[in-house]
Structure 1
Amino acid sequence: MKVVFLDAGTLPIPLNFPNNSILYQAFSATEPEQVVERISGATVVITNKVRLNSGQLESSPQLKLVAVAAAGTDNIDLIVASKLGIRVKNAPDYGSDSVAEHVIATLFALRRHIITYAAAATDGRWSGAQQFCWNGPRIRDLGGSVLGVVGRGRIGQATARLAMGLGMKVLYAQAPGSTQRDDELPLDELLSVADAITLHVPLTDLTRGLIGQNALALMKPDAILINTGRGALVDSHALVSALRNQTIGGAAIDVLDVEPPPPDHPLLATDIPNLLCTPHVAWASHRAQARLAATLIQLVLEQHQMS
């Protein structure tokens, strides 16, 4: 059984299969024009971010399973896959804890200005202080603050649990296009009362540009925006403007609308105040990577038994 991983470079932990009848081929990366050739004859295709469209799926009649090395399946033409009898399986819960911890870590970093204070310890500001400590930006506790969660799937709920354990009050937003639950607030209302907003919704026509100029204007002047979902949920130019004008307190961004981003992406500028930008690594704790690898191996072995 031929198994192909189109972008194995996205997962540092290699996949090892104990069955000698599994022919495994791992490509570090795959360009769109290479997909048809590489999946030819494959029973299983593993992909993280490489897209599989209708023509590519139809080109490989032996294909029985697409295993997505991620929580979402938006890079696969699910309608065509279903028509062709191709199963599409993802790994929905491998990184929930890792992303949730990243959210809380960035909250600590921004509300307590960890980076600024660490720099002050070594750049002369502490040594030149008249008192035993150097006082700079206002330090805010997480306990007693309000976290607004937009998207209450596995990651949103995992983040909420950690936040409540720290004494934060958690409020949920009404999901775009859905009926409001009793414990949910309309997004506009949530934006106006939360001390921090964390985004965990999928990218759809309803959520693209969800946080733009109008949404940012509703946030408290010291509120923090965190995006570990999809880059296009946030209008990058509007966020840069809000941070430069100090209409919000800060932002932690782990995902951008283009990845890898061009060097001149607006959110990669080095002079944006109170912006903590990381290169799509919220999911990537070693434990999460190991769980993802184990899930992919199990999906392949299950397909081998079925074949």
Structure 2
Amino acid sequence: MSLPQVVFVDRATIPAHIHFPELPFEHQWVSYDETSSSQLLERVRDADIIITNKVVLNADSLSQLPKLRLIAVAATGVNNVDIEYCRAHNIAVTNVQGYATRSVPEHVIGMIFALRRHLMAYHHDIARGAWQQHRQFCFFTHPIGDVADSTIGIIGHGALGQATAELARAVGMQVIFAEHKDASVCREGLLRFETVLRQADVVSLHCPLTEETHHLLGADELSMMKANAILINTGRGGLVDESALVDALTSGTIAAAGVDVFTQEPADEHNPLLANIDLPNLLLTPHIAWGSDSAIQQLVQRLIENIVVFYQGQKQNRIV
């Protein structure tokens, strides 16, 4: 009888220095740094277990994998997997949650400070010699705002939203949470979506990307925000209309934006945010808010635990 085959189709999504615990059962481990759609079937045809972070497993591919028993997603989001097909064909799906509740909030707060205090703009002033030509020991070309006593509006009140709120309170911010956009009644502790947009000095996105949340913030929603407001998106790129965001930044509709996620990743020169990367009020990072070393090590540990628990005939972090 052949050993169960475990295939990791996009190992390069995890930094090379992160340690993977050994699976405590005999198996064949196959790992690929990247896998294109054209390479997928050849590589996973004999897989009993597939590990994927972002590689898409749709119904057409899954229908050609008769041995497949488990898809272990190395992330929280499972929108790259056809969940309904898996449910109908008895393929288990697991994900990993809660590993970035320190890393993401720190990234959010870091972006807020960088944008509110114009750290990158001052850095570029020095780089181009503007300060050196000035006669004073200090050099004020951009307004510097305090983060303390400002209000952060959080959209998404799950684990990441709650952890961001906790850290925001620790630096002196007031926290308000938004109800779903089209909700007719607000649950306890939540404010109307539009109210949060109008009241917040910072809006931070921590909700999943679904059909309902696609372009959650477009031109109309951005126009509701304060002129001095900052938008932070560490959720998913599709939550924000990127072209509308560029328009809002260039017109002064909002003050600044920090973006860690993009509609298409990696983003290319056609993305309106990258095309305007030199805007002084725009801070971009390459989808790494989640990725402190400690967070990724926790993710990997839980990923392997999910596989072990499944192999033992039990359920943990099961989507299906």
Q: Give the structure 2 partner of residue 256 of structure 1.
A: 262
In the alignment, residue 286 of structure 1 is paired with which amino acid?
A: D
> In 2, Cα distance between the equivalents of 1:115 and 1:49?
31
| Pair 1:283–1:135, CA change in 2 (3 A) | same
In the alignment, residue 12 of structure 2 is paired with which amino acid?
A: G
> In 2, Cα distance between the equivalents of 1:74 and 1:246?
34
> Alpha-carbon deviation of 1:14?
5.2
> Alpha-carbon deviation of 1:20?
6.4
Q: Give the structure 1 partner of residue 122 of structure 2.
A: 117
2:150 maps to 1:148: no
Q: Give the structure 1 partner of residue 317 of structure 2.
A: none
Q: Give the structure 2 partner of residue 88 of structure 1.
A: 93
| Pair 1:290–1:185, CA change in 2 (3 A) | same
Q: Give the structure 1 partner of residue 38 of structure 2.
A: 33
8 A contact 1:244–1:273 mirrored in 2: no
TM-score, length-scaled by structure 2: 0.91
In the alignment, residue 87 of structure 1 is paired with which amino acid?
A: A
> Alpha-carbon deviation of 1:16?
4.4
Return the match for 2:189 from 167, 173, 183: 183
Q: What do residues 2-49 of structure 1 show as CA deviations (whole Å, max 9, x unaligned)? A: 101111110112534254612111111111232222222222111111
Q: Give the structure 1 partner of residue 75 of structure 2.
A: 70
Q: What do residues 166-200 of structure 1 show as CA deviations (whole Å, max 9, x unaligned)? A: 11000001124555212212211111110010011
> Alpha-carbon deviation of 1:96?
2.2
SS of structure 1 residue aligned to 2:79 = coil
In the alignment, residue 133 of structure 1 is paired with which amino acid?
A: C
8 A contact 2:23–2:308 mirrored in 1: no
Structure 1 unaligned segments of length 5 or more: list them.
none
Q: Give the structure 2 partner of residue 60 of structure 1.
A: 65
> In 1, Cα distance between the equivalents of 2:101 and 2:180?
19
2:249 maps to 1:243: yes
Q: Give the structure 1 partner of residue 228 of structure 2.
A: 222
Question: For 1:134-145, what aligned pairs fall within 5 Å after superposition?
Answer: 134-145=139-150
Task: Name whichever of 178-187 and 247-256 sits farther off.
Answer: 178-187
2:12 maps to 1:9: yes
Q: Give the structure 2 partner of residue 158 of structure 1.
A: 163
In the alignment, residue 262 of structure 1 is paired with which amino acid?
A: D
SS of structure 1 residue aligned to 2:232 = strand
8 A contact 1:177–1:206 mirrored in 2: no
8 A contact 2:116–2:144 mirrored in 1: yes
Q: Give the structure 2 partner of residue 283 of structure 1.
A: 290
8 A contact 1:176–1:206 mirrored in 2: no
> Identity of aligned pairs, percent?
42
Structure 2 unaligned segments of length 5 or more: list them.
315-320
8 A contact 1:94–1:291 mirrored in 2: yes
Aligned length: 307
> Alpha-carbon deviation of 1:300?
2.2
Task: Name whichever of 140-149 and 94-103 sits farther off.
Answer: 94-103
Return the match for 1:292 from 282, 285, 299: 299
Q: What do residues 68-115 of structure 1 show as CA deviations (whole Å, max 9, x unaligned)? A: 111111111111111222211101111121111100000000001111
